[in-house]
Amino acid sequence: MCGIVGYLGNKEKKEIILNGLKELEYRGYDSAGMAILCNDELKFYKKAGKLQNLSDFMNDLSFKELGVAIGHTRWATHGKPDDINSHPHYGEFSCVIHNGIIENYKELKEELKNVNFNSQTDTEVIVHLFEEYTKKFDVYTAFSEVVKKLQGAYAILLITKKAKNTIFFAKNNAPLIIAKGDNDKEFYLASCDAPLVGISKEVAYLNDGDYGYISEDKITLLNGKIEFKQLSSDRQSAQKDGFSTFMEKEIYEQAQIVKNVILGRIKNDKICFDELSSLENNFSKIIICACGTSYHAALASAYLFEREAKIEVRIEIASEFRYKDAYLDKNALFICISQSGETADTLEALKIAKENNLKTLALCNVDNSSIARLADYCVLIRAGIEKSVASTKAFCAQMVNLWLLSLYFNKNEKRALKDEIFVLKNLDLSVNKTQHEKIKRLSKRYLHGHGFFFISRDIFYPLALEASLKLKEISYLHAEGYAAGEMKHGPIALADSELFCVAFMPKNMLYEKTKSNVLELSARDANILVISPIEFDMADDFIKTKDCNHYMIEFFEMMVIMQLFALEIANKVGANVDMPRNLAKSVTVE
Ligand code: F6R
């Protein structure tokens, strides 16, 4: 989500860091900052907003002597996107930058009772803890001791006046790369390949749990081991981490995003949303408003809120809601869901809810967005910047957050919360490469015909709607999503040998009922693709999913499959996957 760059050497440091951050800016642009240590002087600069603000702020400065520099672009998770919360965070003689979330930062702050914290971030605790430990240990041991205390996800760079020409680093569940420079005494660090392309040929991708330091001519691992590889030389593909499109990259990122979303949300078998602590759980119902993919997440969440939390839910398309003069129960909680936080219709709907004095909660991916600012409460979904116009990882993050919220709002003591938490913690969305290859092969059979029906039941019905939206927006093929039980009420009239029917048939949700509906379509000669853990003889094509005992595991696995299916068909028809015609990423007009 955030971006990290580091440099050790005697070239001009400000430009190296700014150029590196430029490559990363698309990941986070709430603020940017850098710290430079040369000639025993440690200086830091940070500015809210785009990187250009930092660049302008540092306009006349230059740092050519041998030394170290670290830089950061921020995607806010803890604390407002202002100058103070920008990285680097500093103590008396050290500075730190960090990507990820330190889950136990509140506990660690307890150890630092005499320290004045400047920011609201989780990161700042790292630098104070380090300085505190240097009172007892040498700097290397102090850094090791800090890392051992950290829980959560992190890629960390730390520099200190107590160790000249040295950058300390640590990695866990957030990417970090070390790159060799032009000579033995020059090193770069970055959170992805992009800033390193063209300036380094050899890179080492650190593993989770690795930490150590780089000093003038060597890298010392205090934990783990390091292996250098050749770096690809294509900048575009480096930004895409080697994937051919941002959409594919974002589908593959979802496994990590689930981990980011649940970080800090589950403590002692309880669901935690600190940002909602003052929101009383006494609302009469929930009204959810959104557009497009976010609307599908809303529809899906209704099944969770009603089933898990036993709360009545009403779902509204924002563009409809804003003009319908809706009856609003004053005791309802109004939730709006928006990846960008700027969608005009959703923003207007939120304003209407506020005018009617409803409590409002936004689920957004962009912290300083209009919707995030306007709502009384905001939960950031933590998907990181989504570059592909077709939303994938934001939908995934919305769904995990909504599932967590449905458990958080649950007032029913008898629920099996422990079981749900176990499933959430073990949710694995890693793409099965063999399955992806199969989908690639299958996709070429789906390029003709007069259209697609995606069908299923329960929470898999909104998934079918989302599948049809994904396919139509990037491949321009006609697709519809239907509740499987609705087929017989009209749509089945379209069934013939030129219709493709994709059926989600989870084992743990109304399998037999959906099966009957699929058989009705098969009897009318439609081409059937079944996605299920249970073999199905009557299907023309079959994608087998994992056998498991929870329908939400099936939901997320089928979500990945339908995204890949849309992607591969779009690739086959030669469409511009990341920038489909007629669409925009942020829809700020009515
Ligand atoms: C589809 C897609 C759109 C958005 C919709 C709402 O892939 O991305 O349907 O979901 O425009 O956007 P947000 O969530 O930013 O309000």
How high is the mean pLDDT of the chain? 92
**Per-residue pLDDT, 101:** 84
Name the more confident of 265 and 414.
265
Under the banding of pLDDT at 50, 70 and 90, the label for residue 384 is confident
Tens digits of residue pLDDT in 13-54: 999 999 999 888 766 567 899 999 999 999 999 999 888 999
Q: Does residue 288 carry a pLDDT above 60?
A: yes
Whole-Å CA distances, 304 to 329, 408, 414: 21, 11, 16
Q: Is it true that 243-432 and 434-590 share their CATH fold?
A: yes
Q: State mean pLDDT over 319-331.
A: 94
Name the more confident of 511 and 579.
511
Pocket of ligand 1, candidates 348, 386, 587, 589: which has the most ligand atoms within 8 Å of its Cβ, to mutate?
A: 587
Q: Could you give the CA distance from residue 582 to residue 262 in angstroms, rounded to a whole number?
A: 35
Q: Does residue 368 carry a pLDDT above 80?
A: no
**Per-residue pLDDT, 30:** 78
Cα 341 to middle of ligand 1, angstroms = 10
378 forms beta bridges with 362
Q: Is the dihedral of CA 64, 69, 75, 78 positive or negative?
A: negative
**371 CA: nearest ligand 1 atom:** 16
Fold of 243-432: Rossmann fold (3.40.50)
Q: Does residue 504 carry a pLDDT above 90?
A: yes
Q: Does residue 241 carry a pLDDT above 90?
A: no
Q: Does residue 501 carry a pLDDT above 80?
A: yes
Q: State mean pLDDT over 129-133.
A: 97
**Per-residue pLDDT, 269:** 86
**Per-residue pLDDT, 149:** 96
Angle between helix axes 551-573 and 433-443 (nearest 10 degrees) is 50
**295 CA: nearest ligand 1 atom:** 10
Lowest mean pLDDT among 67-76, 227-236, 543-552: 227-236
The burial class, CB within 10 Å (0-12 / 13-18 / 19+), for 55 is middle
Structural tokens at position 204:
């080492």
For the chain, percent of residues with pLDDT exceeding 90: 76
**Per-residue pLDDT, 582:** 81
Tens digits of residue pLDDT in 510-528: 999 999 999 999 999 999 9
Residue with CA closest to ligand 1 atom 7: 390
Residue written as tokens 């004045």? 116
Q: Does residue 545 carry a pLDDT above 60?
A: yes
**Per-residue pLDDT, 580:** 86
Cα 294 to middle of ligand 1, angstroms = 6
Residue written as tokens 């593909």? 237
Q: Could you give the CA distance from residue 452 to residue 476 in angstroms, rounded to a whole number?
A: 11
Cα 579 to middle of ligand 1, angstroms = 13
Q: State mean pLDDT over 429-451.
A: 95
HSE-CB of 275 using CA atoms within 13 angstroms: 21
Q: Could you give the CA distance from residue 487 to residue 265 in angstroms, rounded to a whole number?
A: 40
Under the banding of pLDDT at 50, 70 and 90, the label for residue 162 is very high
Q: How many CB atoms lie within 10 A of CB 430?
A: 11
* Ligand 1 pocket at CB < 6 A: 291-294, 338-340, 343, 346, 390-391, 469, 473, 587
**292 CA: nearest ligand 1 atom:** 9
**Per-residue pLDDT, 579:** 85
Residue with CA closest to ligand 1 atom 10: 293
Q: State mean pLDDT over 82-109.
A: 91
* Residue of 446, 498, 505, 455 lying closest to 477 (CA atoms): 446
Pocket of ligand 1, candidates 343, 387, 563, 579: which has the most ligand atoms within 8 Å of its Cβ, to mutate?
A: 343
Q: Does residue 396 carry a pLDDT above 60?
A: yes
Q: Could you give the CA distance from residue 419 to residue 549 in angstroms, rounded to a whole number?
A: 11
**Per-residue pLDDT, 216:** 80
**585 CA: nearest ligand 1 atom:** 8
Cα 524 to middle of ligand 1, angstroms = 35
Cα 586 to middle of ligand 1, angstroms = 7
Q: Could you give the CA distance from residue 336 to residue 353 in angstroms, rounded to a whole number?
A: 10
For the chain, percent of residues with pLDDT exceeding 70: 96
User: What is the domain partition of the chain in residue ranges?
Assistant: 3-233, 243-432, 434-590
**Per-residue pLDDT, 27:** 61
| DSSP at 306 | I
Whole-Å CA distances, 174 to 29, 206, 253, 260, 588: 18, 10, 12, 9, 32
Homologous superfamily of domain range 434-590: Glucose-6-phosphate isomerase like protein; domain 1 (3.40.50.10490)
Active site members: 2, 585
**Per-residue pLDDT, 50:** 83
Tens digits of residue pLDDT in 553-573: 999 999 999 999 999 999 999
Domain at 3-233: CATH code: 3.60.20.10
Q: Could you give the CA distance from residue 552 to residue 559 in angstroms, rounded to a whole number?
A: 10
